[in-house]
Chain A
């Protein structure tokens, strides 16, 4: 019997993702033997450095986990603290939080769709290179991103690590006039988002399906963003308080990121595909119309088409922001009074990439005794590896360079945020 033929494909440093990671794939006799995402983004030990800090500091400190989705960290930590302290906030504060979060979805999705992901489909190394032949598209993406950032600046003070957010509400509530100035840019952004759906839906997609369980938040009649129950397409429906009973994290040698699993050990996926599968009927009429126009089915299990789902979510985020501004009345007080309590609080929100869970234990004067943070990319890492395995099996007749490109694209389908997950990527394909 001849020796098995081995082939290794690797990417030492994956580009157009947020953070540092690598991938390696080993094939033996043309079949996938092993797929690994390695996260070498160095650990920064947030859960440890939060110990001994005030519960009021968690939003500012945890926002520094990620410069692309700081609002997600602020909102999940705030939900946890308010859950524990029994705080009810007023309707205007709820509106402002969802509005700020819409800004982050627009900024993050526009960044990913136009600058990180679209170049894969059109054959460019990046958006700047793409701009030479597709100047209108890139300008449209930049304008969309800018509008998301403007929303964050008006409500949060700045786009990266907003300063105006606190446990209980805001330091200063924006005036109606300040928000009304955002209406025109948001209406233009909504048009641009509709164009984005038509543009991305015209890309070529390999027909593929993700098979694992899809997990997202459900929030009554709303498309869940800043709050909700944890639900799945396989019947899960729990309060955030019970998250720990249904999900766990494990630590494997190759990665500075922890891997999340369902309690029975199975893999699941969160993010745009899961949200769309579970809540598409709660999208605004315009978002559903545009999705129907381009033939985006519900559910969509094709990770390559996640770029179209993200684009539909861009339409929704603009639409929803406009609705929220119309409904906004200035609050009597910018924040609710908060008294710390000893105990454990849980918070979860839909970061642009998927579920972001926080859990804190406080003592009676509000000092953090213990913190646990489960970012979306840690939850999705196993699903990404499973998907990668299938992608390699299907495309293993490609040359190493072409196979590497397909694998990198398959990873970027998930918009992995490695800065978040450290506690993610290099692509290495070994053909044994």
Chain B
């Protein structure tokens, strides 16, 4: 029998939702398992095949000294390393600690802070090791995951759009919630991939897929102000699951503005 490529799934600081997406492809799971050897996926199987692995899917962010070391081992054991989800690509909602005093955070939750080993920051995987591809989303989209796994196995680049959610609304024929209903929406600055589900449910996008390519944050800010959202409201909206990615975009925009 031809040797099947191996797939490994790794977890760092996360909610398990993105790796669950692999089990949520109910119609394709067993077919995938025939073409690929699932060599390391602890949430699904206690069988572990030793590396190296052809493709590693990495979920979660780096938040402990142990994780900062373990990710290097995963990188060394992987031909291709792909990060899945907002935690792995941007630090996740737990990156809100990056803007607070970590000691306050530990004390707020734990009676005995001395038992807790944590880093002061939650950082994306790419801050620590080379990453071959990033799949956005909180959580990731199952169809994008299937495309990613197929592409990685065929050793081609995955076809994943980097435009904004606005184009998904247009292609689905969903009227703009900001223009027609006055609902603040992060769609213009957020990367597509979810299928514009929030606008489809009369809700403004809240940024699960992180910043789109070249987001016009200044224009968005003007829109939101005209809808009566204050600075705190905008800050809060950008400071959730992709807080670190949106902050880096805002800094980049401010820096280029300063040069003008």
Measured CB to CB, the residues of A under 8 A from B are 13-20, 40-49, 51, 53-54, 57, 60-61, 64-68, 70, 111, 115-116, 119, 125-129, 131, 135, 138-139, 142-143, 145-146, 149, 157-161, 163-164, 170-172, 250-253, 256, 258, 334, 408, 419, 423
B-chain residues with CB within 8 Å of residue A115 when the two chains form the complex: 23, 44
Instruction: State the Cβ distance, B194 to closest chain A Cβ, in Å.
Output: 7
Q: Is B255 in contact with chain A by the CB < 8 A criterion?
A: no
B27 to A146, Cβ gap below 8 A? yes
Instruction: Knowing A68-B16, A163-B197, say if A142 contacts B115 (CB, 8 Å).
Output: no
A-chain residues with CB within 8 Å of residue B45 when the two chains form the complex: 15-16, 119, 125-129
Q: Which of B20, B46, B111, B201 lies in contact with A157, CB distance below 8 A? A: B201
Contact with A along B10-23 (1 / 0, CB 8 A): 01111111111101
Segment among B102-110, B163-171, B209-217 that sits at the interface with chain A: B102-110
Segment among B74-82, B91-99, B127-135, B149-157 that sits at the interface with chain A: B91-99
B-chain residues with CB within 8 Å of residue A57 when the two chains form the complex: 236, 240
Instruction: Knowing A60-B240, A61-B240, A159-B24, say if A45 contacts B105 (CB, 8 Å).
Output: yes
B93 to A423, Cβ gap below 8 A? no
B-chain residues with CB within 8 Å of residue A127 when the two chains form the complex: 44-45
- Indicate the member of B15, B20, B138 with the most A CB atoms within 10 Å: B15
Measured CB to CB, the residues of B under 8 A from A are 11-21, 23-24, 26-27, 29-30, 33, 38, 41-47, 63-64, 66-67, 92-94, 96-97, 100, 104-106, 108-112, 115-116, 118, 122, 138-139, 194, 197-198, 200-203, 206, 208, 236, 240-241
Instruction: Knowing A47-B108, A67-B16, A256-B116, say if A128 contacts B11 (CB, 8 Å).
Output: no
B20 to A160, Cβ gap below 8 A? yes
Given A67-B20, A146-B26, 11 more pairs with CB closer than 8 A: A14-B42, A19-B11, A42-B118, A47-B108, A54-B236, A64-B93, A67-B14, A129-B47, A145-B23, A163-B198, A171-B203
Instruction: Knowing A61-B240, A67-B15, say if A128 contacts B20 (CB, 8 Å).
Output: no
- The CA-CA distance from A68 to B16 in the complex, in Å, is 7
A128 to B29, Cβ gap below 8 A? yes
Instruction: Knowing A16-B46, A47-B109, A48-B109, say if A161 contacts B16 (CB, 8 Å).
Output: no
- The CA-CA distance from A171 to B20 in the complex, in Å, is 26
- The CA-CA distance from A251 to B116 in the complex, in Å, is 10
Q: Which of B94, B115, B116 lies in contact with A49, CB distance below 8 A? A: B94
Q: Which of A53, A60, A70, A172 lies in contact with B201, CB distance below 8 A? A: A172
Instruction: State the Cβ distance, A137 to closest chain B Cβ, in Å.
Output: 12
A128 to B27, Cβ gap below 8 A? no
- The CA-CA distance from A61 to B96 in the complex, in Å, is 11
Provide a sorted-by-A list of 19 A–B residue pairs whose CB atoms are within 8 angstroms.
A18-B43, A42-B12, A42-B13, A42-B64, A43-B106, A44-B122, A46-B109, A48-B108, A49-B105, A54-B236, A64-B93, A66-B16, A67-B17, A126-B45, A142-B27, A142-B29, A145-B24, A146-B27, A158-B194
- The CA-CA distance from A139 to B30 in the complex, in Å, is 9
B118 to A49, Cβ gap below 8 A? no
Instruction: Knowing A42-B64, A45-B105, A64-B138, say if A423 contacts B24 (CB, 8 Å).
Output: no
